[in-house]
Amino acid sequence: MHNSLSPEQVLGILDIADNAIICTDAGGQIVFFNQGAERIFGWRTAEVVGRELSILIPERFRSGHGQRMAGFHHGDATARRMGERGTIYALRKDGTEFPAEASISRSQSGGEWVLTAILQDISDRRAYERELEAAKEKAEAAMLAKGIFLANMSHEIRTPLNAVIGMTTLLLNTGLDDEQRDHAQTIRNSGEALLAIINDLLDYSKIDVGRLDLERQSFDIRRSVEDALDLVAPGAGGKQIELMCTIAAEVPEIIVADATPAPGAGQPAVERGEVHPARRSRGRAHCEVGARQAICAAVRGERQRHRDPAAPA
């Protein structure tokens, strides 16, 4: 007893395959045309068996196809994998062309050479690739438009903002008392901080096109933290939040780092308690120390109120 398949069984399996399977003899005449080929090409088996394979090939490709088939017949190779020669174009019965990938093998049957081609219609894949490429181009155009919009708006905002900063600077040179000077200085610092944010928007548009260069900036860490606290002090006072600042003694006055402070991050989340920005050095040499920022929203008043429900709000 043996388990090998009979030729009829093999042909039955090939006939129901989803891909087109076409066999030709040494003269290029079709000797087998499965159901997958019928579905893809639109021909019935009885209509194509005994006819030249060239009826399935667009006319402009027939000459080159004949030469390649002759070379394959007489060459050393016995198989060529699907997609090895790239995309080919085939011809349906109704005259429409479609892109396809094909693998070809050469074998002997009854002492004669037979070429077997397995062909896959990739029309849907190509349509999907075109849609994907169109979506990519649309997304890139949207990103470019967004970058242009950000750049234009940033420049538009800069003009009045620079006027505010400039006029505040002139105001500081007038005869202000200490409290007025402190308020005016806070206005100027706020304007400069907003200008830095606008510059960041421009940097964001540069990131999209890969043109952003990181900038190393020297600044006074103590003054930076104090200025930041001045910006959020009015809002913190209204929420009964106590602001405190601690900077370790080993932190140098001038460091090279990101000069954008963020102590306001802890303020919006609480209504009372404390926000405590703390700076301490990581010990890098040559004044290039990393200032590790810890924003601690301890919210002591809130915790006390939760422990004692009778405590006044």
pLDDT of res. 208: 60
Using the 3D structure, point to which of 122, 148, 170 is the last residue of a domain. 122
Are 74 and 112 in the same domain?
A: yes
Average pLDDT over residues 249-266: 59
- The CATH number assigned to the domain holding 110 equals 3.30.450.20
Are 181 and 228 in the same domain?
A: no
- The CATH number assigned to the domain holding 162 equals 1.10.287.130
- Mark residue 111 as left, alpha or beta (left: phi above 0; alpha: psi -120 to 50; beta: remaining): left
Instruction: Flag whether 59 is in a domain.
Output: yes
pLDDT of res. 81: 59
Instruction: Flag whether 114 is in a domain.
Output: yes
Asked if 232 contacts 267 with a C-beta cutoff of 8 angstroms, the reply is yes
Are 84 and 37 in the same domain?
A: yes
Instruction: Flag whether 278 is in a domain.
Output: no
pLDDT of res. 209: 55
Are 72 and 157 in the same domain?
A: no
* Confidence bin at 79 (pLDDT 50/70/90): low
Q: How far apart are the C-alpha atoms of 140 and 192, rounded to whole Å?
A: 33
Are 71 and 135 in the same domain?
A: no
Kindly tell me if the per-residue pLDDT of 236 is higher than 70.
no
> For 43-57, 126-140, 263-277, which range has the lowest pLDDT when averaged over its residues?
263-277
CA distances from 128 to 36, 91, 122, 123 (A): 22, 21, 10, 9
Instruction: Flag whether 202 is in a domain.
Output: yes
Are 178 and 254 in the same domain?
A: no
Using the 3D structure, point to which of 75, 100, 122 is the last residue of a domain. 122
Using the 3D structure, point to which of 122, 149, 173 is the last residue of a domain. 122
Kindly tell me if the per-residue pLDDT of 190 is higher than 70.
yes
Are 115 and 135 in the same domain?
A: no
Average pLDDT over residues 271-294: 43
Instruction: Flag whether 273 is in a domain.
Output: no
**Percentage of the chain with pLDDT > 70?**
67
Q: Which two tokens stand for residue 211?
A: 């043109």
Are 182 and 101 in the same domain?
A: no
Are 189 and 224 in the same domain?
A: no
Q: What is the pLDDT of residues 161-178, one digit of tens each?
A: 888 888 999 999 998 999
Instruction: Flag whether 36 is in a domain.
Output: yes
Residue predicted with more confidence, 47 or 10: 47
Are 42 and 118 in the same domain?
A: yes
Q: In the chain, how many domains are there?
A: 3
Average pLDDT over residues 292-298: 35
pLDDT of res. 50: 94
Instruction: Flag whether 235 is in a domain.
Output: yes
pLDDT of res. 90: 94
Look up the domain containing 80 and give its range: 14-122
Asked if 273 contacts 301 with a C-beta cutoff of 8 angstroms, the reply is yes
The overall average pLDDT reported for the chain is 75
Instruction: Flag whether 4 is in a domain.
Output: no
Are 115 and 186 in the same domain?
A: no
Average pLDDT over residues 85-110: 86
Residue by residue, what is the 3-state secondary structure of the chain?
CCCCCCHHHHHHHHHCCCCEEEEEECCCEEEEECHHHHHHHCCCHHHHCCCEHHHHCCHHHHHHHHHHHHHHHHCCCCEECCCCCCCEEEECCCCCEEEEEEEEEEEEECCEEEEEEEEEECHHHHHHHHHHHHHHHHHHHHHHHHHHHHHHHHHHHHHHHHHHHHHHHHHHCCCCCHHHHHHHHHHHHHHHHHHHHHHHHHHHHHHHCCCCCCCCEEEEHHHHHHHHHHHHHHHHHHCCEEECCEECCCCCCEEEECCCCCHHHHCCCCCCEEEEEEEEECCCCCCCCCEEEEEEECCHHHHHHHHCCCCCC
